[in-house]
Structure 1
Amino acid sequence: MIERNMIATAYELPGYRIERSVEVARGIIVRSRSIVGVLGASLQTIFGGKLSLYTSLYERARQDACERMLAQAEGLGANGIIGMRYDATEIARGITEVLCYGTAVHATSLH
């Protein structure tokens, strides 16, 4: 399992030397909003403020995409990810694709 301290948005892992880049790892998840979620969010918009239903939906989607990316990286023999990013695209009304990607690397501790 890739440790959380071995995931960085930067292109280095402090305290580690990147021995080799394995390849780009990615995790993709496509989610749709349920009719109940749409109605609940519509009610929240009437009163304004944070849309907690959408916030939790998208946070779960990002987490799922990240877990898929990590699983792919581990399968490639990597023990770290550098340059990690998220991207999201609404591919149809109410259907969103969330992509998590980064460079899978093998790194060793400098200590």
Structure 2
Amino acid sequence: MTQATDTAPRRVLPVWAVATIAGAFGLFYAYAVWNALAFLLTQATGPLGLNGYGWFVLLTAVVFPLLVFAISFWLGHRRPAGLFALVLLTGLGLVAVFWLDVVGYATIYGATLLGG
């Protein structure tokens, strides 16, 4: 007995489409990284500097967008273009929420981050 497979071959996006979509969203992720890095440097070179916890929180805000982009790219690059863009957009939303959490925490509890 033979087993019939009714699975259609997967249509993979061309490399240029993956690069274009990832590049367009990558600019937004890069802006998030650049913004977090600027905030880190501003706080670190301020009159009080940062303590260890402050470095941890603000460095996490720098690394988090890179990690989310890598995971989003890994999850979506073999999917159709619309779903790939949607996965990257969802990751970008997650990065935005995380950034707002960091800024809110630094605004309310800023004294816990400062003082070297």
The TM-score with structure 1 as length reference comes to 0.36
Larger Rg: 2
The one of the two structures with greater contact order (alpha-carbon pairs below 8 A, sep at least 6) is: 1
- Which structure has the highest strand share of the two? 1
